[in-house]
Structures are given as structure tokens and as C-alpha cells.
Structure 1
Amino acid sequence: MASPAKRPRVSGGRRCHPVPSVAGPAGGGEPDSEPVAGFLRWCGRVGLELSPKVAVSRHGTVAGYGMVALDSVQSGELLFAVPRAALLSPHTCSIRGLLERERDALQSQSGWVPLLLALLHELQAPASPWSPYFALWPDLGRLEHPMFWPEEERRRLLQGTGVPEAVEKDLANIRSEYHSVVLPFMEAHPDLFSPSVRSLELYQQLVALVMAYSFQEPLEEEEDEKEPNSPLMVPAADILNHVANHNAHLEYSTDYLRMVATQPIPKGHEIFNTYGQMANWQLIHMYGFVEPYPDNTDDTADIQMVTVRDAALQGAKDEAERLLLCERWDFLCKLEMVGEEGAFVIGREEVLTHEELTATLKVLCMPAEEFREYKDRDEWGKDETEEDNLTVSSIPSLKTSWRQLLRDSVLLTLQMYATDLKTEQDLLNKEVYVKLSWREQAALQVRYGQKMILHQLLQLTS
């Protein structure tokens, strides 16, 4: 349902169960949790091989189930291997033949319907081979994605972050997809889908689960122009939690998916995968958690593209200048450098949309006669200079007009939040912070990380 701009999505979210327990593979200690023990027996049956150096655990993890090292692990060492037959996808589920035959009827904007129908069927199938895997899933009624927050709370806590708008789009897409594609399909096959799973509420929960826990196999370089691969569920891999400074990653091959250590992991330490370079607003939107400031080195702040246009228009001296700015904006739209719903994405050290931001500042700030010549060129963009390689550190050296427009855009962006930076800093006071609810703390981390980046831009453009 969601696809973060300029960020790859490669993995799934974390658990929210606080009860401590540990279980490892054969030789890794006696499991004391029946769901984990059942999962490990299932791993043995399907050929999912866990290293004796790792354990599925709720103890020593940042959130709920995770994986910890029972012994020291070296960089490059195999942690576990998942045979492709053990993946849960439309191609491996019990109704794969039906899903394949009805593939054209199951097309949707998200592309997730076949997997979601596979999950809906397997969840209520009396003898589903995936039952031991499902036993490690989180309680679907306790997922912490903002889509499950009351609308008033979501808007109040996350105003200005971009999350409420993303959630509203998700909810509209989920409702449309369910009523137009999913429910008619289930009603057409009542022998495969019991009334217990014909529920918009359950469908929304499964969408959130797929959003947080599924994987998308990356395309080959020569396939870059193709649509992204459909999501699939990867048992064991979706147990790992995420941090920006991760120590493992998933490798894909013909027969197996392998989780491999990317750095030495000391005994007793948690094993972390990466879900891609995710800003905190993306983490809370798609996975239901955040990394506290300043841990998320991949955090970003967005400046809406139309905000830069508005900042330029508010500085126009007369109607003629406003009309010329609108002409310049239309030119940028034609070049596909900007769009009404697009955003410029700024990290702590890099401008992720540097090409688009550079082009926008250049076109909106150049003298009128220069724009006329520029617009008539046959091969726009062939005259790149060093200023086109825009980075955060190079912002102070930009032309004065560029810096002023960027500064005005940042000031307009900061007005979209309900609170200022000083208010956030007061809330981060330890005695105040511990009294906040989990949602208040998480939303605060999202807002604060974004505002720190925006205030850094203010300093660099002053």
C-alpha cells in the first residue's frame, strides 16, 4: 500500500510481545516457549536451517521476538538458510492453482491481493502447514501502525510529518481493494474462505502485517524498468528486528534465501536486519515503531515541492512575476522534476532528491531572459556544474537567491507542525518523556528528528 519515496523496502517489522523466553535450534538450548518450539520443529520439517549459534528469543531483544547470538559470529557467516519451498507466497500456498487461474481478476493497485488471499485462506484452514509459523506472528489486534490509531490522535500527534496523509491514502486503497476485489472473490469461493475471514477489519490487519513483515525480492539490474516483485513471507527472516546500523542482511539465490552476518556479532547480542534506508516517519507508518533520536542515521525531512513553489510566489513583487513563476513551475512539471504531490527529501548529510531540488532552485531563481533561453534548449540538463551536485554541506556555497528560496521553503514547512522545536525539546526532558504514552513518545521522535534536519537547513541558509 505504501512505497516510501527514494527508499528501498526490503524487509518486515518487529514484534510487540514483552514476555521473555529463549529457544534455539538443535544444540542451542531447551526451548521453554511452545510456539517457538513448534516453529523450530516446523523449520526442521521444511529444511529451514538455523545456525547453532543463533536463537529465536524474546530476551535480550529490542522488541518482542528477535534473534540473538548464542556464540560469537564472524562477518560473512551464515545465520540461517530458508529454502524457497518454505516461503509463503501465492505460488506456495494451498490455493496456488486457483490464484494463478484467477490472476487477471485479482489485479489491484497494491499488487498484494494474491498474497493477502493466500494468508486469509491459510489462517482458517484446519490443517494449514503454516500454522507453526503463524504461532510466532504478533497479535493482529495489537498492531501499532498509525492506521489503527484514532484519527484525532493520529492527526494531533503526527501533524506535519506526512504520516496522516499517507495513512489516509492507505485506508482508502484498502477499503476499495477489499470491496471491489477481495470480498467478491471470497464470496465466490465459500468452500475456501469461511465467514470468519470475510472481514474488512481482518483484511486491514493483514495489510499492515504484510506492510511490516513481508519481503520483496529485488529486481536484477536489467529488470529495473519492470514492476517491483510481489511481496512474500519469509519465515525466520521476519523475526529479525531492524536498526539503521544493522549487522545482517538477506541474500537471494536460486534455491535459498540466506541471512548472512555483515559484521562480527558478539555472543549475547541481538541480530538485526535492515528494512532499507528508512526515515522514522516511514518506520512508524509501515512498521509501527521508531528509532530514538539520534540513532536513526537514515532519518529525513521532507519539503513538499509545492511548498517551494509557494515560497517563491510569496516573494513575487507583482502579478507579472507571479505568472512567470507559474510558467517556470509548469516547465519543471513537464520535465518531471516536480509534481503536485512530490517532496524534496533531505537527510542529515545528503539531499536524496538533489537533482530535482537543484533543477527547481535553478529554474525558479534564474533571471527572466536566462529562463527564456534555458526553456528553448533541445537538450536540457547537459550543462551540469558543480553546484548541481547538491549536498547538505554544500548548501552555504549556493547562490544567495537559491539559499533564500530554500530558507523560505523551510520556514513554511515548519509552520505545518503544531509545535515548535523548543516545545519538542521540553518534552524530551527525561522526567517529562517517561510520562508520555508510547504513541506520544514515538510521534515525538518522528517530529523531533525532522525538525532537527529542518533547523540545520535554516543554519546553513542564514
Structure 2
Amino acid sequence: MAAEAKRPRVSPGREAHAPCPGSPAAVRAPPPPVAGSVGGGGDADPDPVAGFLSWCGGVGLELSPKVAVSRQGTVAGYGMVAQESVQPGELLFAVPRAAILSQHTCCIGGLLEPERGALQSQSGWVPLLLALLHELQAPSSPWSPYFALWPELSRLEHPMFWPEEEWRRLLQGTGVPEAVEKDLANIRSEYYSIVLPFMEAHPELFSPCVRSLELYQQLVALVMAYSFQEPLEEEEDEKEPNSPLMVPAADILNHLANHNAHLEYSPDCLRMVATQPIPKGQEIFNTYGQMANWQLIHMYGFVEPYPGNTDDTADIQMVTVREAALQGTKVEAERLLLHERWDFLCKLEMVGEEGAFVIGWEEVITGEELTTTLKVLCMPAEEFREFKDQDGWDDNNREEDSLTITDIPKLRASWRQLLRDSVLLTLQNYATDLKTEQDLLNNKEAYAKLSWREQQALQVRYGQKMILHNLLELTS
């Protein structure tokens, strides 16, 4: 990812996007052949890498002589490999702003800009997607050598392309089915309400072959997995996020949590710089940010198998904590008071009906929200009345924003019990228990017989359950 995305606070979202995924530990599907139709690359060029490198020279995209684009020695599809040893701080390549494909640099940028208001959407991606739809079917698109390195769109492995029965069954309890449902509904709505009417209004720019919901969904997945989002400056935090960009060369790098390169932004270009020593022959990895496995499979179509993803997390839905607290009430008055406490937490923006508390291996990512929620739901009634009358705590009385995993045994007994009950309820959302999956992972022969999707989904579930069971031990 261009600049490391911030950890999601309440409900993980797409703060930034990144290139085609892969990792040394990740077992990916075999790399697809380069496609020869709209929505893939082109197979007219017998050597798409040579064509791409020639194009790079023409647009001023400079690659260090120490690196090479290759299928050999990489974990998934194309990647970038060190031909000589590289030291931290060395420039691997520089992408001039003019070589970036965006709504501003595409051939129809002059049309998209004045139509910006009509193309607004929840995702904010419509202008770029229209640019891609136009460029892909344009025989003389200047981006054709770049497209030749794209994977075949019909072979993308995001769960949204799995049969519905499969993603619902294999990923139950992980949060992915809910995310896929939202994606599919939003894509369909965006396509029929904005994209298709725009293409039909400009038939000279969009041939019938690109006017399909299927292709649009594939391009959404491609933008989700390959694009970059330039981070806002600190003083711009309240602004809308920047529009996504397609960054040639940068999107060739595969992902690893323990990456050895990262992208830097400057006014004139984007620079990929080494962050660790990279020995000759080793693959160069970028990072897509601190991404849990459920986010990786949802947005990129792969995972880092346990225990490789040190950024993995498990979610406890906020409403699950409310449900656990309600289980401890005995009379109607207690239930009413608990709902009052919950409503006040909503007013403080500590909880929400669709939010989640995010638990990592070393810290609770949403530490402030979780500690405040546990405190308010567990405090004596008189203390809550005082708390509510004061409209919450002043800065001197607030809990620490950070909450490490090692802090959890030190929490008050009532807080630990509520957290434990919430974990137990969360574990009920999965179709199988931890031991069943542990046995399957430990049986190499049985694991090898699973389909690639079954293996990926198992890794997502297992990592989450391990984090949740660690919480059970800490709260016992």
C-alpha cells in the first residue's frame, strides 16, 4: 500500500488500497494466463514484460537496474525481484505523475471532470472505473502495455466471485459474508444508477462490450486490489479521501506484513524505496497496510496463513457486548437501565449498531471504545447517573486510549466477565470449533485435500479463533 493505512478504529474499511496480493506464506491459486479479451491483458505481445518495460521508458518510469519484473522467483503471478543486493533507502523505481492512470490522466478526463457532480457515489470510485472501462476497449489506448500485466479479470479470487453458498458457508462468523453482501448491493446500485446511464449517454466512447454489470464488478475488485489512495495531509484529515489511482510498476509488488519496501509520495512522482536490506534473488514486497486476514481475503483474494499475519485481528461486534450484558440482567428495571447506558454510549460515539471492537495479537485496536464501554456497562447505577449528568468524563478522568492484551488480566473482575461472555457469544457465530480446525491444520494430508478456497477460509477462521481463545484465557 502506498502509505501504510491506519488501523481501523471501529469498523474496518478501505482507507487505502494496494497491488496484486501474495506472500511467501500465502498459498494462492496458480497465476492465471494473460487474457486476450476486454477485461484482461492482451496476448498479442509474446513478451508482455518487455512491452511493459519499453512503455515505462517511453513515459519516464525509471526502474533501478538492481530490480526486475518477473514471474520466476515470485509468490504469485508477476512480482519484482532484486537482481543485485539492495540497501535500505535505495530507490527501486520512480513513477512520474503523468504515468499514473486516474480520472485526470485518462483519455476522457476532460469529460469526467465537468461531470464530477453527477458521478458522485458512496465508493468515490466511479470516475476511475469509467476511465478504465473506456481505456480497456480503446484499441489505441496508451495504457495497453500496462494492462498486459493485469491478471485475467474472470479469474479474480475475491469471495464476491465465489458461489454464494460457498462464501456463506466457508466464511461464516468471519465478517466477510456481511462485507460481500454490502459490496454486491453497492456495486449493482452504482452501476445501474450512475455508470450505465453515463455510458449510454456517450455511446461513442463506450462500446457495447464494456456495458455489463459483470465487467463492472470485476473492475471494482481490481481497483479494490490494485489501486492506491494517496494519504491526506494531517491538516486535511476532515476532507473526503483522495480518489484511487492505478500506479504502474507499484502494483506489481506483492504483499507481506514484514515488507521490505514502501511507496513515498512527492509532487512530481511516486517513489518505491527499500526499507530493509534485500539480498540478490529475493522478492521485493510492499505492504497493503496493517490488514487482518478477513480484510485480505475480502479485498485482495488471499490470506497469510497462521501464524504469519502478525496484523491479524478478531472482531467482537459491539451489539454482542450489549447482548452479553443483557444476559446478566434479572428484572425489567435492570434491562431498561442497561439500554439507557447503551444509548448514552451511542451519544458519546463509543459504540454503534454496526460497529465492532477490534482485537489484535498485541493490542485492542479500539482500546478507548472497549474500555469505556466495559466501564459504563459495569459501573454502579449511582456512578452512571453522575457520569451521565456530567456528560461523560473530562480529560483528567478518561481511560487510556491504548489497551494492550497484557492489560486485560488487570481489568476489574466485572469488566473481564463481560468481555469473556462477549467472546463466548462471538465464538457461537462460527460453524465449527477451534479443536476441529486445529486437527485439520495439523493433518497435512487432510489439509492438502481441501480446495484452495477451503484452505484460505480455514486460515481466516483459525486466526480469529486463536485470538478469541487467547482472550478467554486472559479473562478467566
5 Å-filtered alignment, 1:58-97, equals 58-97=71-110
**Does residue 443 of the first structure (1) align with residue 457 of the second (2)?**
yes
Unaligned segments of structure 2, at least 5 residues: 1-5, 23-28, 35-44
Q: Which residue of 1 aligns with 2:41?
A: none
CA distance in 2, matches of 1:452, 1:458: 10
Q: Report how far residue 101 of structure 1 moved.
A: 1.4
Deviation at 1:378, TM superposition (A): 4.4
Equivalent residue number for residue 163 of structure 1: 176
Task: Give the deviation of 1:427 after TM superposition.
Answer: 1.4
* Cα distance in 2 for residues equivalent to 1:4 and 1:418: 28
CA distance in 2, matches of 1:349, 1:103: 43
SS in 2 for 1:250: strand
Structure 1: gaps spanning 5 or more residues? 22-31
> Does 2:129 align with 1:99?
no
Match of 1:13 among 12, 20, 36: 20
1:408 to 2:421 alignment: yes
Q: What SS is found at the alignment partner of 1:271?
A: strand
CA separation in 1, counterparts of 2:201 and 2:398? 60
Give the match for residue 281 of structure 1. Answer: 294
Percentage of matched positions with identical amino acids: 84
Contact preservation (8 Å) 1:13, 1:288: no
Contact 2:368 2:402 in 1 (8 A): yes
Deviation at 1:62, TM superposition (A): 1.2
CA distance in 1, matches of 2:352, 2:74: 42
Q: Deviating runs (4+, > 3 A) in structure 1?
A: 3-8, 15-21, 383-389
> Quick check: 1:10–1:274 contact (8 Å CA) kept in 2?
no
CA contact (8 A) 2:368 2:400 kept: no
For the 8 Å contact 2:33–2:151, the answer to whether it is kept is no
Identify the residue that residue 237 of structure 1 maps to in structure 2: 250
- For 1:342-357, list aligned pairs within 5 A: 342-357=355-370
1:197-236 paired onto structure 2 within 5 Å:
197-236=210-249
Question: What is the aligned counterpart of 1:431 among 435, 438, 445?
Answer: 445
Deviation at 1:387, TM superposition (A): 6.3
Contact 1:243 1:273 in 2 (8 A): yes
Query: What is the Cα deviation at residue 17 of structure 1?
Result: 5.2
Q: 2:343 aligns to what?
A: 330
Change (3 A) 1:277 1:51: same
- For 1:5, give the aligned amino acid: P
Q: Is the 8 A contact 1:304 1:343 kept in 2?
A: yes
Task: Say whether residues 1:189 and 2:202 are aligned partners.
Answer: yes
In the TM superposition, 1:7-156 aligns within 5 A as 8-14=15-21, 18=31, 34-156=47-169
How far, CA to CA, are the matches of 1:277 and 1:148 in structure 2? Answer: 24
Q: Deviations over 1:21-79 (max 9, x none)?
A: 9xxxxxxxxxx961111000000000000000101111111111111100100000000
Q: 1:357, CA displacement in angstroms?
A: 0.3
Deviates more, 1:430-439 or 1:11-20: 11-20
The 3 A distance-change label for structure 1 pair 389 and 207 is closer
Task: Give the count of matched residue pairs.
Answer: 450
Change (3 A) 1:4 1:263: closer
TM-score normalised over the length of structure 1: 0.95
**Aligned AA (1:14):** P
**Relative contact order: is structure 1 or structure 2 higher (C-alpha 8 Å, sep ≥ 6)?**
2
Q: Is the 8 A contact 1:17 1:65 kept in 2?
A: no
Is residue 459 of structure 1 aligned with residue 473 of structure 2?
Answer: yes
Cα RMSD (Å) of the superposition? 1.7
Quote the residue 2:383 is aligned against. Answer: 370
1: CA distance between counterparts of 2:126 and 2:280? 41
1:279-301 per-residue CA deviation (whole Å, 9 max, x = no partner) reads: 00000000000001000000000
Structure 2 CA distance for aligned equivalents of residues 390 and 106 of structure 1: 42
In the TM superposition, residue 430 of structure 1 has moved relative to its aligned partner by: 1.1
TM norm structure 2: 0.92
